[in-house]
Every structure is written in structure tokens, then in C-alpha cells.
A and B are shown apart, each in its own frame.
Chain A
Amino acid sequence: KSRPLSSPGERISKASEIQVMASADLQWELIKRNSCFLVKRGRKAFSTEAGNLKCRNSFNSNGLIHRRTVGIEAPTAGKSGVVLVLRNQRQANRPARSHSRVPLQRQGPRGVLGSIKKILRQRRYRRDLELAALRRASAIMRGQRKIGGK
């Protein structure tokens, strides 16, 4: 139907269409001051939910609200690489199915970062978060380096 979006927010062709579920904007208004993930420290507000790349409490960064969300997680202990977690657009109401996880392992850091870029760009998926995703992946992989190693 609609062209894939490169930034958050749902596109509707007519302003008169009634929204079925609360829109991202409305949900943001409800969550921004009060949520179990909200952490206020040092006069800044952080947010600890899974799909938040910058851990920032902001509309764009939030991992719960939007139809499309990018998450980068460390894999289970012992493995290297990173897990890219994308949100399935149509499954917003089905938590079990709402995320697809793409493990990026056994590639070196460049491979991982390249894969992330490729996936996000090909799908035109939250391009505004691309840099944040790469940074987060880098940070995780840096932590996986052996101490005193290469």
C-alpha cells in the first residue's frame, strides 16, 4: 500500500481515517513522564526498554511506541557478534511475534557493521537510527575483545 518509510511515524493517506490503536504520538504522550523503563539520573532522562538504541527517553529513540524499531543486543554468553532485533510492523499487538532477531555472528566487526547497514538500507528501515545502531554494535563488540589481545 504505502511506500516504505524511512523515518518513524505512520503514514495515512487521509487525515479523516480513524486510528484503531493508539498512535505513536499518543503513546508517547502517555509514556514520556511515567514508565517502568524511565530512569532519571543526572538531570537526564534515560529509558531502558529493549528496542532503544541510545537508551534515551525521547520520541525517536523509544523502542516500544513505533511500528518499526531497531534493537542491537549482545548475544548469549560466549558468542561473539551482535543480534539485530527488528520489529515486525504488522504484529504490533502480538508480542510473541513482534520481533525478528537476526544474529550477526562469526563475522568480524566490519562484517557485522556492514550487515547492519545493508539490512537497514535495503529495507529502508529506520534510516534515522542507522548510525546509532552501528555505534551500539561497535560498543558491544569492543567489549567482546579479549583483554590484551589484538
Chain B
Amino acid sequence: MTSRPIVTVQAAKEGEKSGASLALPSVFRAPIRPDILNFVHDQMRKNTRQPYAVHVKAGHQVSAESWGTGRAVARIPRVRGGGTSRSGQGAFGNMCRGGRMFAPTKTWRKWHRRINVQQRRFAVASAIAATGVTSLVMARGHRIEKISEVPLVVSDSVQDLKKTKEAVAFLKRVKAWPDIQKVYASQRFRAGRGKMRNRARIQKRGPLVIYAKDNGLCRAFRNIPGVTLICVSRLNLLKLAPGGHLGRFVIWSESAFRQLDQIYAKSKLPDNKMASTDLTGILRSDEVKAAVRPRQARQARAVLKKNPLKNVNVMAKLNPYALVLKRKAILAQRKALAKKRKADAPASSQKQQQKKQPAAKKAKQAAVKGKAVKK
């Protein structure tokens, strides 16, 4: 068996010695299954719902009857009597003003959901496991860049904190304060009708503090925005994975961390489908390599055919001597051109030659003397 990694307990208060080592509980190796977690989370969230429904009699507190055919009006039931503008108006239908809605909502709608125990446990185990993976916690949005270790375990003196000031000092000590600052920065008003319905203010979630025994801890932390507190014996998926998203930032007290092994005895933990999820590693492992044929040298890809008569490089590949021939041809052409030019302008060139002679003499003399000559 591979040895379990060790988690160091951080000091909660100043002057405390940190450094006690705990083995990582096996829950942290539970399979991380966002699909199960999401499903269970959805179902669980429905369990705090309060029923809403339209009044039973809504739309029906009228005695209305259809006028039938032959009166040049639609056959919808109409309000009886006279003397008021309401008389003769359509009633009862969902399309009528003041009528009953389509499919009036009933209180006996199924509001709550039952979830299988195994599924619930699986989801919580997954959520806890995800809590121990740094990248997942960061991807969820928690600011944990300065924290000393993930999972963050803290000595039991956290549980004894009584004052909010002490709680704040603790969070700063443990470098969890940036997450709270993130919460402060996210405080804003909800968009939409929720404002009118007592749900005006919203903010992000901060750290989750899990304790074994509350000696004042809850009161110390409860006024700090974003912080949630739960007891180990009552782990709540809705707090561990808010929104159905894995990887909440959790701060464990030492005794709470120790209790995890008892709560999640190995027999209770769900099985992994894959012993190793490291796909890249598996593909490179010795066993796979032994079964796989050697890599083929890069196969030549189809090359676009180019016309050697137009393309010099391709011609040269086929017939290297073609370059020699070409060069000869070019040189011969140049020579012929030069000859032609001389032949074309005989008179002026003679004059130029006469002029050039004294200039040439001068040039020679100057060269002997070492002076620069203008050409």
C-alpha cells in the first residue's frame, strides 16, 4: 500500500507550536464524482422549500354561465346580472380577465425529495475529497494562494476562540483573510424581484470551518462575512459544495480532522472505478509500453507535385545537372547581351575611348602618387 501523505497542523494562536503531523484520512481519496454530487445537491436543495400555491377559490368566486350560441358572442361563461360593468364579462377561463389561471398551483406538489443513503454518503465523501485538491479549491474561486497547506488543519485552540477580533486575527494568521476580502468585495444587491422578497443582499461564500466541539467558536466567527461553521458529526453537502460545485475552502480543527477516519471507516467509502486516474502516466507506464509496438518513424506525407519545368528547385532535385546547364545559359546570355551593346553603339564608344585614354593616364599617374581619382 502506498503510504498516506502527512498533513501538518497549523498553530491557531500566537505562541503556539505548530507541526503535529496527521495522516491524511482515507476520505480524501474517495472518488471525486461531480455528477453524483450535483444530483444529490439538487435533490437536497429542494428539501428546504416552502410550498406556494394560488388560492383554491381564485377565479371561481363568480357565478357565471355561458350564453350559448346565437347571441353573436364567444361561448365563454359570462357573469350574470346587471348594473355593473362586470356583468357580461367573461369568467373562469385562464384567458379571461379575473379568471382562474391555467393549472392552478397546488400545495400538494411534491416539494421534497428523498435521496438514497448511499448516494448521499458518496456525494459527501466526494465533496470532502475535492476539498483536499488545491486546484479544485482555487478553480472554485477561493483565494488560497498564501495558505500553507491544503487541506488546512488547525490546532484545537480555534474551537476556544470567543471574540470576533480573535477570529479575524486567526484568519489573518492562517492566511485565509484574502478569501474573506473576496467576500467583502462581492457584496452587492441581487438583480431582480428577490430584492422585494427579503433576499436583497448577496455575496460569495468564504471558508468553511469544521470543528469537533464548539467552545465559543461559532459566536466568534459568525459575524465574519462568508464564513460558515459546521460540526464534523453533521457534515452538510450544501455547505461542502455550495451551488453543487466541488472544492470549497475548508479549515479543519485538529480533532475534527481526526474524527474523519472514524466517521469514514474504509468499508464505508465508495470504491474507485479506476485505481489510478493518471491517464498520461498509465499510457507511459511499463506495462503499457511492453504491450505496444514501437513508434513508427514519421511517415512521409503526400507532397504537392510541382512542375519541374517551372520550378527550379524541383528540377534540381530531379536532375542536378540542370543547374549547371542553366548557369551556362545565363552566362552565355549575358555575354551575348554585352557584345550586342558594344556593337550597337560604335561611334559614341570610340569617342568615349579617346576621352578615356588621357583620363586613364591621369588615373595611373595619380595612383602612383597615391591620390584618389574621380571616375
Asked if A27 and B133 make an inter-chain contact with CB atoms under 8 angstroms apart, the answer reads yes
Asked if B136 and A30 make an inter-chain contact with CB atoms under 8 angstroms apart, the answer reads yes
Expressed in whole angstroms, the Cα–Cα distance for A59 and B149 within the complex equals: 24
Asked if B150 and A23 make an inter-chain contact with CB atoms under 8 angstroms apart, the answer reads no
- Residues of B close to A11: CB separation below 8 A: 281, 284
Report the minimal beta-carbon distance from A51 to chain B, rounded to whole angstroms: 10
A30-49 vs B, CB cutoff 8 Å, 1 = contact: the mask equals: 11001111000000000001
Asked if A26 and B32 make an inter-chain contact with CB atoms under 8 angstroms apart, the answer reads yes
- Residues of A close to B144: CB separation below 8 A: 95
- Residues of A close to B311: CB separation below 8 A: none
Report the minimal beta-carbon distance from B241 to chain A, rounded to whole angstroms: 12
Asked if A20 and B29 make an inter-chain contact with CB atoms under 8 angstroms apart, the answer reads yes
Q: Which of A50-78 contact B (CB under 8 A)?
A: 64-65
**A13 interface contact, C-beta 8 A:** yes
Contacts A95-B145, A96-B175 known; A12 to B276 CB distance under 8 Å? Answer: yes
Expressed in whole angstroms, the Cα–Cα distance for A20 and B28 within the complex equals: 8
Asked if A13 and B286 make an inter-chain contact with CB atoms under 8 angstroms apart, the answer reads yes
Chain A residue total in the interface (Cβ 8 A):
36
Report the minimal beta-carbon distance from A67 to chain B, rounded to whole angstroms: 11
Asked if A31 and B136 make an inter-chain contact with CB atoms under 8 angstroms apart, the answer reads yes
**B240 interface contact, C-beta 8 A:** no
Contacts A11-B281, A26-B277 known; A36 to B139 CB distance under 8 Å? Answer: yes
Report the minimal beta-carbon distance from B88 to chain A, rounded to whole angstroms: 56
B158-198 vs A, CB cutoff 8 Å, 1 = contact: the mask equals: 00000000000000000100000000000000000000000
Asked if A15 and B276 make an inter-chain contact with CB atoms under 8 angstroms apart, the answer reads yes
- Residues of B close to A35: CB separation below 8 A: 139-140
Asked if B133 and A22 make an inter-chain contact with CB atoms under 8 angstroms apart, the answer reads yes
- Residues of B close to A95: CB separation below 8 A: 134, 138, 144-150
Expressed in whole angstroms, the Cα–Cα distance for A80 and B313 within the complex equals: 47
- Residues of B close to A37: CB separation below 8 A: 139
Report the minimal beta-carbon distance from B247 to chain A, rounded to whole angstroms: 8
**A81 interface contact, C-beta 8 A:** no
- Residues of A close to B282: CB separation below 8 A: 12, 15
Asked if B277 and A22 make an inter-chain contact with CB atoms under 8 angstroms apart, the answer reads yes
CB closest chain-B residue, reference A15: B285
Interface residue tally on B, bucketed by range: 35 or more
- Residues of B close to A18: CB separation below 8 A: 1-2, 29, 272, 275-276
Asked if A94 and B146 make an inter-chain contact with CB atoms under 8 angstroms apart, the answer reads no
**B288 interface contact, C-beta 8 A:** yes
Most buried by B among A17, A49, A97: A17
Asked if A94 and B285 make an inter-chain contact with CB atoms under 8 angstroms apart, the answer reads no
- Residues of A close to B213: CB separation below 8 A: none
Asked if B138 and A64 make an inter-chain contact with CB atoms under 8 angstroms apart, the answer reads yes
Most buried by B among A12, A30, A35: A30
From B136, B145, B245, B277, contact of A19 by CB (8 A)? B277
**B34 interface contact, C-beta 8 A:** yes
**B14 interface contact, C-beta 8 A:** no
Expressed in whole angstroms, the Cα–Cα distance for A16 and B1 within the complex equals: 10
CB closest chain-A residue, reference B282: A15
Asked if B275 and A27 make an inter-chain contact with CB atoms under 8 angstroms apart, the answer reads no
Asked if B278 and A9 make an inter-chain contact with CB atoms under 8 angstroms apart, the answer reads yes
Expressed in whole angstroms, the Cα–Cα distance for A19 and B29 within the complex equals: 8
Asked if B149 and A25 make an inter-chain contact with CB atoms under 8 angstroms apart, the answer reads no
Report the minimal beta-carbon distance from B112 to chain A, rounded to whole angstroms: 27
CB closest chain-A residue, reference B29: A20
Asked if A25 and B277 make an inter-chain contact with CB atoms under 8 angstroms apart, the answer reads yes
**B280 interface contact, C-beta 8 A:** yes
Report the minimal beta-carbon distance from A17 to chain B, rounded to whole angstroms: 6
Most buried by B among A15, A17, A37: A15
Q: Which of B256-279 contact A (CB under 8 A)?
A: 272, 275-279
Asked if A9 and B132 make an inter-chain contact with CB atoms under 8 angstroms apart, the answer reads no
**B5 interface contact, C-beta 8 A:** yes
Contacts A8-B280, A9-B284, A93-B150 known; A22 to B139 CB distance under 8 Å? Answer: no
Most buried by B among A11, A16, A93, A98: A93
Contacts A15-B282, A36-B141 known; A23 to B148 CB distance under 8 Å? Answer: no
List 6 extra interface pairs beyond A11-B284, A37-B139, CB under 8 A: A10-B280, A10-B281, A20-B2, A24-B278, A49-B138, A93-B5
Q: Would you list 22 pairs from A and B whose C-beta atoms are within 8 A, ordered by A residue?
A: A12-B281, A15-B282, A18-B1, A19-B276, A20-B5, A21-B133, A22-B277, A23-B277, A23-B280, A25-B280, A26-B278, A27-B133, A27-B136, A35-B140, A37-B139, A49-B139, A64-B135, A93-B132, A94-B148, A96-B145, A96-B148, A97-B148
The residues of B with any CB-CB pair to A shorter than 8 Å are: 1-2, 4-5, 24, 29, 32, 34, 129-130, 132-136, 138-141, 144-150, 175, 245-246, 272, 275-282, 284-288
A-B residue pairs, 7 tightest by C-beta = A9-B280, A23-B278, A36-B141, A64-B135, A35-B139, A26-B277, A25-B279
